[in-house]
Chain A
Amino acid sequence: MNVIEEKVIDLHAHLSRDYTAKKYRVDELLEDMRAYPNMRRMISCLDGPVYLGNLEIEKLVKEYPDRFFGCAVINPKEDDALEEMKRCISTGKFKAVELNSLEHGYIPEITPNIDELFNLAERNNMFVKVFTGWGDHAMPNQWEYYLKRHPNTKTVFLHMGEFWDGYSCIEVAKRNRNLYLDMSGMYELSVANRAMRVIPHERFLFGSLFPNMLTKWSLEFIDAYKLNEEDRNRILYQNAEKLLSL
C-alpha cells in the first residue's frame, strides 16, 4: 500500500451498501482511509433507507471520531424529513446535511421542507451540501433560490455543477457569498481554472467522491490545478477546518 502522509480533509465521500446483503461497506471505506493516515473525511450514505444510512454514519463517527465527520442525508419529500433532521441533530454527530434532488427525485424550488431544513442547519451550526449537475433537477441555478432565501446558511454545491453546469455554477458562486464549492468530480480544467480566477480561494473544498472515484485520482486532480502551496493547503484542509469550526 502506498501511504500518503499529507494532511487532508475530504468533505465529500460516501458509505456504500451491498443491496443484496443489505450490509454497509464499512471495511472498504476503512481500507481506503488506511492509505491516508492524516486524512479526515466527511461521510454520508445515499444507499438504502435514509434513516438506516444516517444511523450507520452516526455509528461510524462514534467509533472513529478522529477520522470521520457525519453528514446526514435527508429526503425532503419524506413525511418524516424534519423529524429525521432533528433526530440527527440531537445526536451531535452530524456537521452537515446533504440534499440530493437527483437521487431522491424532486424539483428543488417546489419541494416542501427545504426552507426548514436550511433553517435547522443554520440554527445548529451545520452547513448544507447540495448535489449539483446532471440536468434539470439539480442545476446550480435552481438551488440558488435557497441561497438567496438563506444568506446566512453556509451551503456547499457538490461537484460545482459537474461538467454540464460548471460555468453557470461559477456565476452563481459570484453572486452568493454563502456558497462554497466542492471540487470532487470537477475534472474539467477549463471550468476549474475559470472558477479559480474569479472566486476567492477560501471557498473551494476538497472532496474525493469515494467510492465511485479513487481517492488517489481526486488528489491527482488537485495536482493538475497547479496551485501554489498556500492555495493547495487551503483547498486540501484549511477551508474545511473553518467551515467545520475546528
Chain B
Amino acid sequence: MRYFNFHAHLGKTTLGDANTVDDLVSDMKALGIEKAGICNLTLATMKAKNDLIHDAKQKYPDFIRAYAYLNFKDPTVIDEIDLRMKQGFDGFKIINQWEGIRSDHYPPMENAFLYLRKFNKVIQIGTGSTSTPYPFIEYARQYPEMQICFTHIGQRELGNSIIAAVKDVPNITVETSQNYDRFILRKAVDVLSSKRVLMGTDWPYKPQYTETHKMEDLGFSDEQLEDINYRNAARIWGDAI
C-alpha cells in the first residue's frame, strides 16, 4: 500500500515542542508515507507561517505539498495568496477559530475567500465544534469549482452531521485525522464513497501509526483503501502515480 499524507503540520507545537522538516520527513518515511501536505499553525504571523512551509518545500520539493495558511483578518491576505501561488504552493489552509473569526458572519472574509476560486487549488478547512464548517458548504454549493476539504470530518462531535450535509456536494472531501469514531469513519466512506475520503495524520499532534493505518482496520476493500491512502491526494495535488 502507498501512502500520501493529506494533512500534517510543521513548526513548534501548541505545547512549544520544536520540530524540523527533517523530523517530519524522517517520521513519515518510517511509516512508508511518500508525500505530506503541510501548513504551520503556531508562528505569530501569516507570513512567518507560510515562509516556514515555503522553505520546507524548497528543501524537499518531491515530498512536501505546501498549504498556505490564510488569516482573513490580515489586510495583506490577497497579496499573500498571490505570493504563495507564485511560489508554487499546492493549496490553502483555513482555521477561522484560531483567528477569532466567525465563519458564519464575517463579511470581510468573503472577498478573499472567493478570490481563491481563480487558482483551482484545494482549500483545507479545520473543522470541529468551535470551527464550524457549515457556512463553507453553502460556498461549495454555490461555486462547484472550489475544492474544499474538511479536516477531521468535523471531529467526533460533528462527524455524522457533516457527512449528511455534504453528501450531495461533490466538491467537498473529508480527511480522517483526529476522528477515531469508527462508525463515523465507516459512514464517511459508505455515504461519500472512497473517492471523497483522504488519509491524514495531523503530524506531530496525533499518534502517527494509528492515523496512518486506522482505515485498514475497518473492512474496506483494497481499492477503497488505495483511494483513501494515496490516489485521492494524488488527484487533488495533481501528482502522477
A: residues with CB less than 8 A from B are 134-135, 163-164, 185, 187-191, 193-194, 209, 211-214, 216-217, 220-221, 223-224
Contact = CB atoms under 8 A, between A and B. Distances in A.
Nearest to A135: B129
Nearest to A134: B157
A187 B178 contact: yes
B171 interface: no
Contacts, number: 62
B129 to A, nearest CB: 6
B209 interface: yes
A187 B180 contact: yes
Contacts of A191: 15
B103 interface: no
A164 B13 CA distance: 15
Q: Which of B17, B156, B217 has the most CB of A within 10 A?
A: B156
Interface stretch (B72-80, B88-96, B200-208): B200-208
B215 to A, nearest CB: 11
Contact of B210 (A164, A188, A193, A217): A217
B208 A224 contact: yes
Interface of B: 13-15, 17, 128-130, 155-157, 178, 180-183, 204-210, 214, 217
B163 to A, nearest CB: 15
Contact of B15 (A163, A193, A213, A224): A193
A217 B204 contact: no
Contact of B180 (A194, A217, A223, A224): A217
A212 B129 contact: no
Given A135-B129, A223-B209, A213 B182 contact: yes
26 contacts: A134-B129, A163-B128, A164-B128, A164-B129, A185-B156, A187-B180, A187-B206, A190-B14, A190-B205, A193-B15, A193-B17, A194-B15, A212-B181, A212-B183, A213-B180, A213-B181, A213-B182, A214-B214, A214-B217, A217-B180, A217-B217, A220-B207, A220-B209, A220-B210, A221-B207, A224-B209
A189 B129 contact: no
B206 A188 contact: yes
Given A187-B180, A189-B206, A224-B207, 19 more contacts: A134-B157, A163-B128, A163-B178, A185-B180, A187-B206, A187-B207, A189-B205, A191-B15, A212-B156, A212-B181, A212-B182, A212-B183, A213-B181, A214-B214, A217-B214, A220-B210, A221-B207, A221-B210, A224-B209
A163 B206 CA distance: 11
Nearest to A213: B180
Query: Can you list the 8 inter-chain pairs with the closest CB atoms, starting with the nearest?
Result: A224-B207, A190-B15, A220-B210, A190-B13, A212-B181, A213-B180, A190-B14, A217-B210
Nearest to B206: A187
Contacts of A193: 15, 17
A138 B13 CA distance: 26
A135 B132 CA distance: 13
B205 to A, nearest CB: 6
Contacts of B155: 163
A52 to B, nearest CB: 22
A221 B117 CA distance: 39
A224 B181 CA distance: 18
Which of B13, B178, B207 has most chain A Cβ within 10 Å?
B207
Nearest to B152: A163
A214 B206 CA distance: 16
